[in-house]
Amino acid sequence: MSSLQKATFAGGCFWCMVKPFDQFDGIEQIRSGYTGGEIKNPTYEQVKEGNSGHQEAVEILFDPSIFPYEKLLEIYWQQVDPTDDEGQFQDRGTSYRASIFYHNEEQKQLAEQSRKNLEESGKYKNPVITPILPAAEFYEAEEYHQDFYKKNPDEYKKDREQSGRNEFISKHWR
């Protein structure tokens, strides 16, 4: 039996980053939270202000023997605009930037290769600039943010539609 691993991805609003991963065997847990910043135990308001240095992110606990990291990367790239360094879709600012946070050297190499492959694919006119960074402390977001798409399906659907994320994904990934 394989041991579980962590993957951490920032892709704008964490509400929209849970559901795409939450439908596969081998994905054991997905937590919404904050990572990459300077202050300990940040609150949603502190992160949203953009002064904490944190990004909204999801931390995924997965079984690589069932669902390998490369598949997580494939899903990740289809959820973000990897050419935008100013946020994602309607959510602007540093706390909403897309980033991949690696937990070991293998994840780093796989993430770098997948970014290179995406860049070389010609899918985007602008350069793929999503950073690949060492994982930092992850702080779980407040309970009302966890599994938001399940708890508040109407608000989740409305937010995704208004954000431009669905339209972007449809245009680039069909």
DSSP string covering 3-39: PPEEEEEEESSTHHHHTTTTTSTTEEEEEEEEES-SS
The arithmetic mean of pLDDT across residues 96-107, rounded, is: 97
Bridge partners, residue 10, by sequence: 99
Can you spell out the DSSP letters for 57-96? Answer: EEEEEE-TTTS-HHHHHHHHHTTS-TT-SSEETTEESGGG
Contact by Cβ (8 Å): 164, 90: yes
CATH of residue 119: 3.30.1060.10
Which has the higher per-residue pLDDT, 33 or 1?
Answer: 33
Domain range enclosing 111? 5-173
The arithmetic mean of pLDDT across residues 43-49, rounded, is: 93
Task: Give the helix, strand, coil percentages of the chain, each rounded to 5.
Answer: 35, 20, 40
**Catalytic residue list:** 13
Q: What is the pLDDT of residues 10-41, one digit of tens each?
A: 999 999 999 999 999 999 999 999 999 989 99
Contact by Cβ (8 Å): 86, 129: no
Domain count, the chain: 1
The arithmetic mean of pLDDT across residues 100-120, rounded, is: 98
Identify the pLDDT of residue 1.
47
Contact by Cβ (8 Å): 115, 128: yes
